[in-house]
Structure 1
Amino acid sequence: MAHMNDSRRSIADAYVAVFEGLSTAGGRTRRSPQGAVLSISGAPVAALNAIISPSLEPDADDIAALAASEAPWDVPWSIHVRGIPGPLITEVAARNGLTQFNTEPLMVRRPDQGPPPQPSVGPLRVRPVSSDELDLYARTVAEGFEVPHETFQVFNNPSFAKLVGLTFYLAEVDGVPVGTGMTSVSGDLLGIFNVSTLPHYRRRGYGRAVTIELVRAGHAAGATTAYLYASKMGEPVYESVGFGTEEYMTVITAP
């Protein structure tokens, strides 16, 4: 019954499916009997190695069992739950050394807004990358998030180019990469990820323009509801494109 009354469950399931797809191509993944998902990409970043529950009422024993199945963990990892975790989830996380909580707004752009108008930001071009450009994409994402290149080398995997519904984008000015994006199309849902702008190209509207182009591409593919998980800094940018905050996700990591 809780599932039936959960208006955003389809978005949560689509989000989980993105992690499953990435981990199936480059790592490992499995589902628990109660629906939580273990997704290990192998990247040296906790958010990309996760136990994720798509339920509004995550099962603590379920999450604990998945955590125990990987112990001792050989990569940084995290637990993702919708809303504010209850005491049982918090206890499971603490037993595994995960005590840092980061709340991310789920922002959704609904179909009644229609596709946004095409942005006009000088010579900026946003285009899908080919399989032989994934190394460039991975390096550009890392530079956009200002982390070492190896952090996102998990994306330099030719298998990713074969994942149905997943597209990687580069934003370029005169052929020079200035930003990135990634989308996942699942039916009428468009997930937006990895929107970044390189440090020297910020405050020019490129991040907003990339987001608009990704939403427009989603509409062209029949995905008229777009969703993303934003940082607090990015929230106003996405609001200006028509996204509204509908829920929150808590990502629990080690300090």
Structure 2
Amino acid sequence: MTHMNDPLRPVADAYVAAFEGLSTAAGHTRRGPHGAVLAISGAPVAALNAIISPSPDPNPDEIAALAASEAPWELPWSIHVRGTPGPLVTEVAARNGLTRFSTEPLMIRRPDQGMPPQSAVGSLRVRPVSSDELDLYARTVAEGFEAPHETFQVFSNPSLAKVDGVTFYLAEVDGVPVGTGMTAVSEDLLGLFNISTLPHHRRRGYGRAVTTELLRAGHAAGATTSYLYASKMGEPVYESVGFRTEEYMTVITAP
């Protein structure tokens, strides 16, 4: 399939570029000859150390070579492919001990949705963070995803503040963090990541408000199409602000 016949390829490329940028700042990366990327963030979580193919027809030899280049793996890792992996990619994953498959919907908000109206949820404020606040951001992300702090400690690296097009956000009520978000702008595409609400602050509309404010910031920066990979819990929230599922990504990890 050529790029011209693959309307979602620009989104897939932007997703890969966002991973590559963050991992270059905090860890290391390597590109294969067919466009797949090895992106090692250094975080102790499989999803953040990955081989990602932007092609709907990933090359199994390329994935195998990238996996071998990092062996022996010292961190949990994963393979990300669009749609359902074929038998050859599945075989490569199995040879490397990756046999657990999960799917995440790729949700896209198209330009015809326009800029969303400004959200107003009590005294909630969504603001970008500076480099010296990234440790607070990392701890808040961990709490939002109910994970140990060290799981997302990679986001405290000040070098991440210099990644082109990437902005980190805190959501606060009266100065107290209640949620997080992250955006990656690539030309007219806006990627949304790390949208979380702390457990004791859920069901108050904060997740939707954070999403809306990130969309508005991206739209102001010239990004008219937005994308994200959603969790089951977040899918209805994103649908309420104009996102629609257009594809699925398979993440392959160790059991």
Aligned to 1:158: 158
How many angstroms does 1:3 deviate by? 2.2
- Residue aligned with 1:141, SS: helix
Give the 5 Å matches for 1:38-53: 38-53=38-53
- Alignment of 1:135 onto 2:127: no
How many angstroms does 1:232 deviate by? 1.5
- Residue aligned with 1:54, SS: coil
Is there any run of 5+ residues in structure 2 with no aligned partner, and where?
A: none
Aligned to 1:190: 190
- List 4+ stretches of structure 1 deviating above 3 A: none
Aligned to 2:62: 62
Aligned to 1:74: 74
Q: Distance in 2 between matches of 1:44 and 1:2?
A: 36
Aligned to 1:94: 94
Q: Distance in 2 between matches of 1:179 and 1:56?
A: 33
Aligned to 1:177: 177
How many angstroms does 1:243 deviate by? 0.2
Aligned to 1:224: 224
Is there any run of 5+ residues in structure 1 with no aligned partner, and where?
A: none
Aligned length: 255
Q: Distance in 1 between matches of 2:223 and 2:75?
A: 34
> Can you list the C-alpha shifts for 1:138-161, whole angstroms capped at 9, x where unaligned?
000000000000001101111111
The aligned amino acid for 2:143 is E
Q: Distance in 2 between matches of 1:158 and 1:142?
A: 17
Q: Distance in 1 between matches of 2:154 and 2:230?
A: 21
How many angstroms does 1:120 deviate by? 1.4
How many angstroms does 1:2 deviate by? 2.4
Q: What TM-score, normalized to structure 2?
A: 0.99
The aligned amino acid for 1:10 is P
> Can you list the C-alpha shifts for 1:87-134, whole angstroms capped at 9, x where unaligned?
111111111110111100000000111011111110000000000000
The aligned amino acid for 2:94 is A
- Alignment of 1:84 onto 2:97: no
Q: Distance in 2 between matches of 1:248 and 1:58?
A: 14
RMSD (CA atoms): 0.6
Q: Distance in 2 between matches of 1:146 and 1:161?
A: 24
- Alignment of 1:238 onto 2:238: yes
- Alignment of 1:210 onto 2:185: no
- Residue aligned with 1:228, SS: strand
Q: Distance in 2 between matches of 1:36 and 1:160?
A: 22
Q: Distance in 1 between matches of 2:24 and 2:254?
A: 25
- Residue aligned with 2:65, SS: helix
Aligned to 1:107: 107
- Residue aligned with 2:4, SS: coil
The aligned amino acid for 1:80 is H
- Residue aligned with 2:2, SS: coil
The aligned amino acid for 1:24 is T
The aligned amino acid for 1:104 is E
Aligned to 2:123: 123
> Can you list the C-alpha shifts for 1:68-100, whole angstroms capped at 9, x where unaligned?
111110000000000010111111111111011
How many angstroms does 1:226 deviate by? 0.5
Q: What TM-score, normalized to structure 1?
A: 0.99
- Residue aligned with 1:91, SS: helix
Aligned to 1:249: 249
- Residue aligned with 2:147, SS: coil
